[in-house]
Amino acid sequence: MVKYWKDIISKDMEEMDKENAVVLLPISAIEQHGSHLPVGTDSIILEALLAEFVKEKDFEVGSVLVAPQLYVGKSNEHMGFCGTLTLTAKTLYSVIEELTASIVKSGFKRIILTNSHGGNTDLLNLIARDLRITYGIAVYVFDWWFTNFWADILKEEKQSQSPYGVFHACELETSLVLAIAPETVNKDRIVDETPDEMFQDEDYISLFGPINIGWKTKDVTKSGVIGTPSLATAAKGEKFMSFAVDKLAAIVSEVLRFQY
């Protein structure tokens, strides 16, 4: 059984085998996602994924806890688009550090920073190392934007030809929201936009490296979309979601086994 932190009685938590437990700390974002997806897209996707994970997956009681989700992340790249909320890197660093200090104080020694927004990733990797050094605990970063997390399912389902087809408010995210909360999507306003042309004459500069550029969203898209949401469907979204729930369960099992 997986439990939400907020649903546990203090006394019961005191008696848990915290040496062998892991706490997922969910971190998401509230930011523009083009003219067709809600600003809460990253939050909605992560919340739904974790709800499925909690409902479906079977772990030993008390071994897997889901801490309260941080809805607002670091989204300064999207400022200038209405509806974006952001914390500064410093503030988000402090919030995550202080929550971790509380989690450690309760006796837990393993944390997975569970992230759904690409703009948080660099900071989370940095924080993970600092938390490891400061508290001596095991810290993991779950991230699907700059890892191969989706690779297997995208190989089967992705239709976008552009390397930027799955990036932001894209085929992947739009499919997921169509499956989870279709009433929040305005399908009539879907537009595709990718920065392929911007980088077409460059050998090294891109949004994937090997030379990364420090970019803000308005540098690379007018619509706020980076990708091809016109190829999104709810059916694909269902497949993406069940793939993600199974994979998250496999990842958590491995973290529970792994010692360092």
What b/e string do you get for 208-237 counting C-beta neighbours within 10 Å, with b at 16 or more? eeeeeeeeebeebbebbbbbbbebbeeebb
* Radius of gyration of the chain measured on its C-alpha atoms: 19
The least distance separating Zn ion from the CB of residue 182, rounded to whole angstroms, comes to 17
Q: How far apart are CA 96 and CA 28, in angstroms?
A: 12
Residue closer to Zn ion by CB (options 41, 217) is: 41
* Bridge partner residues of 193 (DSSP): 227
42 scored as a contact of Zn ion (CB under 5 A) = yes
The least distance separating Zn ion from the CB of residue 145, rounded to whole angstroms, comes to 9
Among 41-49, 133-141, 217-225, 231-239, which window interacts with Zn ion (CB under 5 A)?
Answer: 41-49
157 scored as a contact of Zn ion (CB under 5 A) = no
193 scored as a contact of Zn ion (CB under 5 A) = no
Applying the rule CB under 5 A, the residues between 227 and 256 that interact with Zn ion are none
Interstrand relation of 166-168 and 64-66 (parallel, antiparallel or unpaired): unpaired
Q: How far apart are CA 251 and CA 260, in angstroms?
A: 16
The least distance separating Zn ion from the CB of residue 131, rounded to whole angstroms, comes to 25
The least distance separating Zn ion from the CB of residue 205, rounded to whole angstroms, comes to 23
Among 37-45, 51-59, 74-82, 179-187, which window interacts with Zn ion (CB under 5 A)?
Answer: 37-45
User: Which parts of this chain interact with Zn ion (CB under 5 A)?
Assistant: 41-42
